[in-house]
Amino acid sequence: MRNRKTKQQLVDDNEQAARIALYLPQLHAQKEKLEADLQELEHLALSGWGYADFHAGVNFAITEFSEVRPQKLPLGICPSLSRH
């Protein structure tokens, strides 16, 4: 004999299906937004602009601080740093 669902199990299944059906449009809208965001990120990554601010910062640090030389601190100013 097959496993048959009780009337209450069928009612519960129908209620769950109705809740899922109500949530599907919301879920679809979230999916569409995520896909649009992903396409924008892909465009930025492929165009190279995604890292432009990083590269500008690195270039600035390399060019502006290339002539900075470390100096020894006088003893007693900062004992933990002057030992090196």
Q: Is residue 71 over pLDDT 50?
A: yes
Mean pLDDT of 68-79: 58
Q: Under DSSP, is residue 71 helix (H, G, I), strand (E, B) or coil?
A: coil
Q: Is the pTM of this model over 0.85?
A: no
pLDDT at 6 (0 to 100):
93
Yes or no: say if 82 and 72 are a contact pair by the CB < 8 Å rule: yes
Please give the DSSP secondary-structure letter assigned to residue 50.
G
**Tens digit of pLDDT for each residue in 24-70?**
899 899 999 988 888 888 777 666 665 666 666 666 666 666 565 65
